[in-house]
Structure 1
Amino acid sequence: MIVSQEILDWLVTALRNNPAIALFLAVAIGYPVGTLSYRGLSIGTVAATLIAGLIVGQFDIQISSNVATVFFLLFLFAIGYRVGPQFVRGVAQDGAPQALFAVIVCAMMLGTAYGVARLAGYDVGYGAGLFSGAATSSAALGLSTSAIQGLGLSPDAARAMVGSLSTAFAMTYIFGTIGPILILSQLGPRLLRIDLPAACRAYEKRMGGTGNSSGSAWHHYIMRTYRLLDDSPQVGKRVDEVETMGSPGRCFLDQIRRGEQLLAAHEGTVLKAGDIVSVAGTRSTLRRMFAAGAEEVEDREMLAIPLGGVDIVVTRRAFDGKTLAELAQMEPTHGIFLTRIRRGAMGDDIPILPQTTVHRGDVLTVVGRPQRIRASTGAIGRADFSREETDVPAMFMMIVVGALIGVPVLTLGGVPLTLSIAGGVLLAGIASGWLRSVHPTFGNVPNPVVWFMNAVGLNLFIAVIGINAGPSFVSGVRDVGMSLFLWGMLVTSLPLILAMVLGKYVFRFDDAVVLGCCAGASASTAALGLLTDQAKSQVPTLGYTIPYAVSNTLLTIGGILIVSLL
């Protein structure tokens, strides 16, 4: 026992003398715990890391707040960079109803948190932590921390208030994570009287799909080779005429073997008896077109087509806002097939349906022969062959510019108002992400780097907050008791329930996407995942991306507003 006590004393001394070790220890303990789940429910890495930091902080370890600031700014820039294209489009273009919906939901969340804090008699620290935790907005926690530190309080008073902030955040964050999952997936369909799978099937049919899955029948294709016989209806017709014979299906003639020659299938080429043609399209379309007058043959050279696909980022205005059915008729898409659409901050998969609308910043995965893809890429946007290297000068300069924009303080009615350095960096990230989507040469930050800045930057920041707040956490819990947890449940649940009613009966969002809109407005990716599983469709994702981008930004800024209001 004496040896164990000596080892513990040595460990505590080492952590106090080397706070960096304590920081990494908290993340090493918390991160894997946060990834554990039971029946799809998890407390998340942020809450687990914060709890681990609070435990490690019981050894009375202090880490400079500047360390937390550096990681937090990297995290904020990553958030802005990822949501930039969708945020700008949602505010400025056809996503306005969903963007407005997200603004109202964020206002309800902020108003509920403010009202509860006043009703319960909480100070600024507890009130701001209540808002951040109930909204699961770690970024709001950081901005609230910065705002509190800018109130001109004494170091001890500021430290105590930040401790209250961390205590309230930790106590409300867990239900803030789990609550939206349960409310949207279990209560939502019953409250709104929605049969989600049936609603998604109906939506798919209206969008031109089969209603059996997320448009899979529309984009799954095969390639076959056929020899045209003398009585073939295709003989004597031009290639462009043959390609429309399968209407409403879509097919493409790729190559023609005529004797010993292998020819590219140009629009004006006239087909002859004996030609072997390679044609791509849906199985039903090809069966219908070549049911008579043709025999299927195996020509390995003509059937050799790359399977991996190429990612193309949509940047051209001519493609922005077009449906897939419209794009299918455009010359640049001739001979290529779409297998995937990714959109938004998290790269969410969008269902591929004829009436699905494509927007700038979407990433389209297409397959086809290399020459076809090369011909179409420049017309659509740019190939997403993102370099592995990060444009470090551009990224750091944007952070500097954003931080400088956030420095000025405006005093209104004796209350200091400021965007703050953190808020400025968030806006700089949004601007950078949007500029990157429309100007491919600007500020490349590869997805793995964005993920690292987001996940690691956030968890290191949270660990610093937890460690520094550790000594005051126990007393804080003793002061507020379970009441804070219960108030947090109210702040999480009430705006979300109102949002569902608002989305269905006021904004009149389609039954298939309204719960996705609510998941986005509450920035709950886990809830969206459960909704798509229940629906057996990716259709709810269509309501998620714009509200998520807007709410992620506004809830972050709410960290400043709640401090100013209180």
Structure 2
Amino acid sequence: MSWLSELHQTQPVAHAIGVLSFVCVLGMAFGSMKFRGIGLGTSGVLFAGIIVGHFGEAVDHQTLDFVKEFGLILFVFTIGLQLGPGFFAALREQGVKMNLLAFVIVVLGAVGAPLAGWIAGFDPAAVLGIFSGASTNTPSLGAATQTLGTIPGIATDRLTLPALAYAVTYPAAIIGIIGTLLLLKQILRIDPVAEASGFAAKSSRQVEPLERRTLVVTNPNLEGVALGSIPGRLEAGVTISRICHEGETRIAGETSVLHLEDRLAVIGTPAALDQFARVIGRTSDEDLVLRDESISYRRVVVTDRGVLGKNVGQLDLGERFGVAVTRVTRADLEMSAVPGLRLQFGDQLQIVGRDKDLDAAAKSLGNSLKEINETHFVPFFIGLVLGVMLGTMPIAFPGIPQPVKLGLAGGPLVVALILGRVGRIGRQVWHMPVNTNLAFREFGIALFFAAVGLTAGSKFFATVFSTTGVQWLAAGVCVTMVPLLVVGVFARVVLKMNFMDLSGLLAGSMTDPPALAFASNISGSDAPAVGYATVYPLTTLMRILAAQILTIILFQ
């Protein structure tokens, strides 16, 4: 077995891969253990890495650096792709309030770290690491270290202090953030499962469900008018699937002509149908869907590249195939198929017509289950390239001598949010099946935690059990928990914020994936991820800026 004990010298890359895999196995087994329903989940890999890094042979640092950054990129990019479609809507609805609260958390931490350092007499270089570690924000550590290296007269040993202080405070910060969520839950008597149910009910109320009604044409002004020319139809946002004229039911088209006493099968929200009924005439209890058995409906999936970007009206399915599009479902949101609605990859269309016509229409739309379950790797890697480019791009700000960079966490996240919202550029589609997204996400964060733990393990215990290490640890816990508790209590008591939004806000303001996973676990819902993604991009940028500004101020 001598070859195995010498592997770190003879084949350092193979040794690194083997150790990383062992750490992931050990950490995930540790994270899967629960106490009173609470477990560390994937963050258990970090603590496994610290233990293995302390007792095992040193792992090749270049390999660890690559694995750490690549794992982080995978994690933030996949979570950005998933949340992109709903991120900008959430930003419009509640983003200003949540980002202001996150800004307060960042400012309190940026003030608290130097204050703790001044009271305890810490080296200013260690203060930078405490600020970054207490917020579990790696990009801010990189920004602080880069800025520190540009200051004349800084000794080499002081350049290592930020990373060491970061390693000491980082694990405690993860526990501190999770502990804050538990403390808020206990103090404010919050039931996360009930809050998740209330959040889901509130979200569903905000989107009115669609229903179908039969309307009878009694308005004499509509005699001889084509469906496409009915006043107020587009504004009401309703669709018409069938027309019954003198006992004969047919598929409705934009050129179909109305006559008095015609009956229309109309689909829309209750409010829209009430509004449209005042234009048409009156409501009938008859259901036209049951009248003609030869007309049925089918759900088809948009996967054909030639359809993407077109709106429902441009498809012209009524004229081409004699079918009508009545509803569009996108990311669990059901919408009325108004002519101006643009289609995206993976949209589900409900189409109405006769079987042979439905077959032809479905073929034109793609309707390929293979396509919808396939991961498109070309656009995925294009997105990674764009994310790295944005993350490494220097951005100049007035008053700051060094240009700011979003880093390999902020850049890919921002790009993924944009691409997830856009959906496609040309024939490139940024679609990833949910299971594949989750797999990439867990894989990425596990690699990141393993690399961070192994890097910190060698000096972690020697530092953390020293007087200085204990002081760093205590200061880091205060810098972590005090801002979260202050803002958390204010948001809950004064602003009456739901725990789903609150937990996502707190986790996102600390850019802490384990806290997000923990919040999702105790609530049994992915709802905290929306709040997390709402504040994460701006928080990352603010923490990068704050770290560079702190470096300049502390070393003036």
Tell me which residue corresponds to 1:479.
466
Tell me which residue corresponds to 2:30.
33
CA distance 1:447–1:295, shift in 2 (3 Å) = closer
Once the two structures are superposed, residues 112-145 of structure 1 have per-residue CA deviations (whole angstroms, 9 ceiling, x without a partner) of 2332233334446754454344323354455556
Give the Cα–Cα distance (whole angstroms) in 2 for the partners of residues 66 and 106 of structure 1.
31
Tell me which residue corresponds to 2:19.
22
Tell me which residue corresponds to 1:70.
66
Which one of the candidate residues 27, 42, 46 is aligned to 1:45?
42
**How many Å apart are 1:419 and its aligned residue?**
3.2
1:57 maps to 2:64: no
Give the Cα–Cα distance (whole angstroms) in 1 for the partners of residues 27 and 529 of structure 2.
30
Tell me which residue corresponds to 2:317.
none
**How many Å apart are 1:475 and its aligned residue?**
0.8
Once the two structures are superposed, residues 166-190 of structure 1 have per-residue CA deviations (whole angstroms, 9 ceiling, x without a partner) of 23212332222x1342244443578
Which one of the candidate residues 240, 247, 251 is aligned to 1:263?
251
Give the Cα–Cα distance (whole angstroms) in 2 for the partners of residues 173 and 77 of structure 1.
20
Equivalent pair of 2:210/2:267 in contact (CA under 8 Å): yes
Tell me which residue corresponds to 1:426.
410
Give the Cα–Cα distance (whole angstroms) in 1 for the partners of residues 125 and 373 of structure 2.
46
Alignment-mate amino acid for residue 410 of structure 2? L
Once the two structures are superposed, residues 274-328 of structure 1 have per-residue CA deviations (whole angstroms, 9 ceiling, x without a partner) of x78644457999999755466872645433231768999xx99x9xxxxxxxxxx
Tell me which residue corresponds to 2:314.
none
CA distance 1:12–1:473, shift in 2 (3 Å) = farther
Give the Cα–Cα distance (whole angstroms) in 2 for the partners of residues 541 and 362 of structure 1.
23
Structure 1 unaligned blocks of 5 or more: 1-6, 205-210, 319-332, 343-351, 355-359, 378-382
Alignment-mate amino acid for residue 547 of structure 1? V
Tell me which residue corresponds to 1:170.
171
Alignment-mate amino acid for residue 243 of structure 2? I
Once the two structures are superposed, residues 209-267 of structure 1 have per-residue CA deviations (whole angstroms, 9 ceiling, x without a partner) of xx96533595444558x7x9xxx6769867969x9999x99864312366677332548
Equivalent pair of 1:131/1:491 in contact (CA under 8 Å): yes
Tell me which residue corresponds to 1:441.
425
Structure 2 unaligned blocks of 5 or more: 312-323, 337-341, 366-370
Which one of the candidate residues 277, 288, 299 is aligned to 1:306?
299
1:390 maps to 2:378: yes
**How many Å apart are 1:105 and its aligned residue?**
2.0
CA distance 1:530–1:93, shift in 2 (3 Å) = closer
CA distance 1:293–1:387, shift in 2 (3 Å) = closer
Once the two structures are superposed, residues 57-101 of structure 1 have per-residue CA deviations (whole angstroms, 9 ceiling, x without a partner) of 234533444334434444565537828899999999994444333
Give the Cα–Cα distance (whole angstroms) in 1 for the partners of residues 38 and 260 of structure 2.
62
Once the two structures are superposed, residues 178-211 of structure 1 have per-residue CA deviations (whole angstroms, 9 ceiling, x without a partner) of 1342244443578xxx99979997xx9xxxxxx9
Equivalent pair of 2:69/2:408 in contact (CA under 8 Å): no
**How many Å apart are 1:517 and its aligned residue?**
7.4
Give the Cα–Cα distance (whole angstroms) in 1 for the partners of residues 543 and 268 of structure 2.
46
Once the two structures are superposed, residues 322-374 of structure 1 have per-residue CA deviations (whole angstroms, 9 ceiling, x without a partner) of xxxxxxxxxxx9943556468xxxxxxxxx999xxxxx999996643299999
**How many Å apart are 1:479 and its aligned residue?**
0.5
Give the Cα–Cα distance (whole angstroms) in 1 for the partners of residues 549 and 304 of structure 2.
40
CA distance 1:68–1:404, shift in 2 (3 Å) = farther
Equivalent pair of 2:113/2:479 in contact (CA under 8 Å): yes
Equivalent pair of 1:85/1:361 in contact (CA under 8 Å): no
Give the Cα–Cα distance (whole angstroms) in 2 for the partners of residues 268 and 417 of structure 1.
66
Equivalent pair of 1:126/1:164 in contact (CA under 8 Å): yes
Tell me which residue corresponds to 1:497.
485
Equivalent pair of 1:76/1:426 in contact (CA under 8 Å): no
CA distance 1:425–1:270, shift in 2 (3 Å) = same
1:253 maps to 2:250: no
Tell me which residue corresponds to 2:538.
550
SS of residue paired to 1:136: coil
1:405 maps to 2:401: no
Give the Cα–Cα distance (whole angstroms) in 1 for the partners of residues 516 and 484 of structure 2.
14
Give the Cα–Cα distance (whole angstroms) in 1 for the partners of residues 288 and 84 of structure 2.
52
Equivalent pair of 1:311/1:365 in contact (CA under 8 Å): no
Give the Cα–Cα distance (whole angstroms) in 2 for the partners of residues 427 and 137 of structure 1.
14
Alignment-mate amino acid for residue 131 of structure 1? F
**How many Å apart are 1:491 and its aligned residue?**
2.2
**How many Å apart are 1:388 and its aligned residue?**
0.5
Alignment-mate amino acid for residue 162 of structure 1? A
Tell me which residue corresponds to 1:214.
203
**How many Å apart are 1:165 and its aligned residue?**
2.8
CA distance 1:173–1:153, shift in 2 (3 Å) = farther
Equivalent pair of 1:257/1:276 in contact (CA under 8 Å): yes
Tell me which residue corresponds to 2:455.
468
**How many Å apart are 1:483 and its aligned residue?**
5.3
CA distance 1:138–1:86, shift in 2 (3 Å) = farther
Give the Cα–Cα distance (whole angstroms) in 1 for the partners of residues 482 and 344 of structure 2.
33
Give the Cα–Cα distance (whole angstroms) in 2 for the partners of residues 150 and 74 of structure 1.
26
Give the Cα–Cα distance (whole angstroms) in 2 for the partners of residues 16 and 182 of structure 1.
45
Alignment-mate amino acid for residue 419 of structure 1? V
CA distance 1:427–1:394, shift in 2 (3 Å) = closer
Give the Cα–Cα distance (whole angstroms) in 1 for the partners of residues 226 and 374 of structure 2.
36
**How many Å apart are 1:476 and its aligned residue?**
1.1
Tell me which residue corresponds to 1:525.
516
List aligned pairs for 1:327-406, cutoff 5 A.
335-337=326-328, 340=331, 367-369=349-351, 388-391=376-379, 392=381, 395-396=384-385, 399-400=388-389, 402-403=391-392, 405=394
**How many Å apart are 1:30 and its aligned residue?**
1.8
